[in-house]
Structures are given as structure tokens and as C-alpha cells.
Structure 1
Amino acid sequence: MAADPAAPQKYRGVQALLAARMAQQVLRVWRDLMNPAKVDASWPAVRAALMPIVQQAREQSAVLARAGYMDARQDAGVPDDGFVPPEPLQLAIDRLESTLDVTGPVEFKKAIAAGRTPQQAMDAAAVRMVGSTQYLALEGGRSVMRRSIDADERATGYARVTDDDPCAWCAMLASRGPVYKTAVTAGDPRQGGDRYHDHCGCAAVPSFSLDEPFVGTAEGLYDDWLRVTRGRGGRHAVNAFRRWWEAEGRAAYAAPDRPTT
């Protein structure tokens, strides 16, 4: 990770800003072009307008990730050995179309069938669509980070950085701290730290030594994980952490002056 302790959150922040700007564009198209009285007729034009927005944001996310990875490498004192971050995972057109279809007209019709008003159905679909398109966009940068860490002989692993209000799942994964490429995760219910979800504000940042410090609140989360899950394993540990997070953990970590003891 970068020598600047604020660098991981700065990187996460620029990716979050990209996602927020894309969400504004998606919402504008949905509200301006979608006719709730003629869903099937209006949807093809809406989808055609949305696709390049998501594709462009995904490309921008990948560019940010390449730059962020190389900056972290330089800040960590890794010599320039010609390493070039790999390309992001390609987004299949049929996957993008299917995602938009499911979160657009299909979600709208489900909401209507459940008794929602047309405006409520529009809003419900908008929430789903923003979450899913942000996932696809940020996957561009996340795949660059994951592939770079895997391919770079100098990288030892990564850490998960959350936003200011993570869900229990993301807080749990962040509690692992720096995850080494050679780490054995069998039996650890927190494995799978590179998994994300719709509306997820997390990012992975690379590490370049075997004694990396924890990022941000991760060390406190690790201590709380050990305390809350003591004597439990597997899904029982996950459920115990989730209950604690929703009952008191989330509020404690959102507090500006949270004690570190």
C-alpha cells in the first residue's frame, strides 16, 4: 500500500465519485426517456442510451485503477521494473443488456404487480438499476486491481477499504486486514474478500510487504471480530458479527471520535 496512510481512501474516493456521477446520468436517462405508460415501447431507446454510459464509466474505472496501482507501487518504494497493469475483464454485451433489462422494465413490472403506483415502480427500478450499473462500472477498476495483484511478483496481497457506512458483510471482510496472496483461508468465514455487491462502496488496495499495517478502521474491526465471534465458527461467526454490527458496531464506527481501546 502507499506510504501515505490516506492514499487508500483517496483511491476509494475517486472510484466512488465516478460511480456517483454515472448514477446521475443513469437516473437522468431513466426519468427522461422511460414512459411508465408504455414500458415495452419506450425501453429500447432507454437501454440504448444507458449502455454507453455504463461502458464509458467502466473504462474510466479501469484507468483510475491502473493509475492507482502504479502510484501505490511507487509510494511503496517498488523499483520501476516495467510492470504494466493487466487489462480489465471485458464486459459482455449480453450481460450488460440482461442486467439493464432485469433492473429496468422487469423490476418496474414486478413493482406494479406488487401494488405499487407507477411512480413508486419507477423509483424502485431506479434504485435497482443504479446499484447494478455501478457494480458493472466499478468492476472495471476492481478487476484491474485483482489482476494486477495476482500478476505482480512484487505485490504481497491486498486490503479491503470500505466507505463510511459499510454493511456488516463488507465490514467483516475489511476486518481481515492485509490479505496475502499465499494466505490459507480454509475455515475462515471471511474468505472471499474480493467479492462485492450492488451499491457497494468498497475498493481493494495493493500491499507490497509482509508486514503491512491495517488500513483505516480495519485493525479495530479485527479486534471486534475476534471478540464478537469468540467460540463460534463458520456461518455462526458471520451471523454473530452481523447481529453485533447492526445493533451497535455500525454506530460505533460511524462516530467521529471512536475510542481505539
Structure 2
Amino acid sequence: MAANPGQAQRYRGIQALIAARMAQRVLQVWRDLMNPAKVDASWLAVRAALVPIVEQGRQQSAELARVSYADARRAATAVEDGFKPQDPLPLLLDRLESALDVTGPVEFKRAIAAGKTPQQAMEAAAVRMVGTTQYLALEGGRSVMKRSIEADESATGWARVTDNDPCAWCAMLASRGPVYKTARTAGDPRKGGNSYHDHCACQAWPAFTHDEPFIGIAEKLYDDWLRTTRGRGGKHAVNAFRRWWESEGRTAYAAPERS
């Protein structure tokens, strides 16, 4: 049985909600505890408060992915063979603290050096910090999905599920639809389905048949990819799609939910 597209979209939406709620807490700590007149002196307390927030968001994302993967597998295969979704990749404290340092005081000082006011520098750092902390939190669930799909003999692959306003890169990757574990992607300009970026709303969703439906806006994105890249290949196709998306596609796109 094919996966349930509605279930996939609900999963992506809940992951986005986890990221949004975590971002609110991150911003609150940044604005309450960071002193732009004493950046270095105030930063250690800020970082200490941020670390558990990100770790909790990552745990929530991972747990949601574990439960959702198991539910999707059960619904699609009706198999009870004892398979358990994989654990997320561990988040090393050094990596987390380094990411916070770069997006906090380092970004603040860079903005000041570029001529920004302290308030503008605070906001610039906040944008960077939210993007990076959300990435690290959502990596929990994304790594559960990726590792589970790779380890599960019943899984045929995955689909990239995006929101209705993706960037050109994510729209291009989502247009692939279901991607099979055995598919060769060498030379495919749209490879990299498991790559994400700061402020990215995409999630992977498991596939359990070789006849999976496209999820959400992916099918129309595929039609748009074919239309806008006709006669082109490789990086020329990628650039053609990106130019179309940034000039008119993103604003004029009529996703199913908007119709």
C-alpha cells in the first residue's frame, strides 16, 4: 500500500510547529539576556540558556519522526516484524556551542563592523541564530527518517515534502517526487534530496512501494521543472529553473492548497 500523502503533510506541519515554538524561546533568551554593550560578558549566560532549548527541540523532532515512521510503515505494509526506527544522530555539545557562537556574538560583531547599529546587529544575529538552531533541532527528526529508511528493508525510498513557499533549490528537489534507494543519481543535477539549509521547511517522508504518489505540490513542481528546463541539461537546467522560480514562479505559483 502506498504512503498517505496527508499523513506526510501533517508530519511536516508538526515539525514546522516544533521549530517555530523553539525559535520563539531562542529569540526570547537572546533579547532578554544579551547585552549589546557587553557582548562578551553577557554571551556565556545566553549560550548556557540556549543549549537546553535546542537540545529539547531536537529530542521532540526525533521522537515525532520515530513515531511517525512507525505509523507510516504499519499503515503501508501491515508488517509487524519488530523493526524499530533508528535513533537520531547525536548532537555534540562542541558543535552546538560553536554554532551558537558563530550566529551570536560573531555575527553581532560582524554586523557592527559593517556599519550596522547595535539594534540592527542584534536583529541580524537573531535571524542567523534562529535559522541555525532550527536546522540543528530539525536534524533530529530528519536523521531519524534518513537512517530508518536506509536500514529498513521494507522501505523503497523517500519523498521530499516542502511547504507552499520553498526556495528554488528545495522546489527543484521536491519536484523529483519519490526517490528510490536503488536509484542512481550520478550526473543528476537534482541529486541531494537529503540536503537541507537554515530556515528550510522540508522533511523527508518514507516510501514503501515502487508506485508512490507525489505529495503536496511535488507533482506540479515536476511539471514546471520539465517545462522550464526543456532542451537543457545539467547546471543549465538548474539555472533555468532557478531563474524562472525567482522571477515569476515563486509568486505566481498556484499550489493545490491555494486553488
| Residue 4 of structure 1: how far off its partner (Å) | 3.5
Q: Is the 8 A contact 1:164 1:254 kept in 2?
A: no
TM-superposed deviation, 1:2: 6.3
Q: Secondary structure of the equivalent of 1:238?
A: helix
Cα pair distance change 1:207/1:47, threshold 3 Å: same
**What corresponds to 1:42 in structure 2?**
42
Match of 2:228 in 1: 228
Aligned to 1:53: 53
**1: CA distance between counterparts of 2:209 and 2:257?**
30
Q: Distance in 1 between matches of 2:188 and 2:4?
A: 30
Corresponding residue SS for 1:36: coil
Q: Is the 8 A contact 1:55 1:137 kept in 2?
A: yes
The answer to which of 106-115 and 211-220 deviates more is 211-220
Map 1:129-168 → 2, pairs under 5 A = 129-168=129-168
Query: Shift of the alpha carbon at 1:186?
Result: 1.6
List gaps (5 residues or longer) in structure 1: none
3-12 or 119-128, which deviates more: 3-12
Task: Tell me the distance in 1 between the aligned counterparts of 2:258 and 2:13.
Answer: 21
Q: Which residue does 1:102 correspond to in 2?
A: 102
The aligned residue for residue 16 of structure 1 is: 16
Deviates more, 1:17-26 or 1:235-244: 235-244
Unaligned runs of 5+ in 2: none
- Aligned match of 2:204: 204
Question: Residue in 2 aligned with 1:175?
Answer: 175
Residue of structure 1 in register with 2:5 after alignment: 5
1:244 aligns with 2:244: yes
Contact 1:2 1:73 in 2 (8 A): no
Cα deviations across residues 88-121 of structure 1 (Å, max 9, x unaligned)? 0001111101100000000000000111110000
How many pairs are equivalent?
A: 259
Q: Report the CA distance between 1:38 and its aligned residue.
A: 0.1
Percent identity of paired positions between Structure 1 and Structure 2: 77
Q: Distance in 1 between matches of 2:89 and 2:5?
A: 29
Q: Give 1:255 deviation, angstroms.
A: 5.4
CA distance in 1, matches of 2:106, 2:78: 49
* Distance (whole Å) between structure 2 residues aligned to residue 124 and residue 33 of structure 1: 16
8 Å Cα contact 1:2/1:72 also seen in 2: no
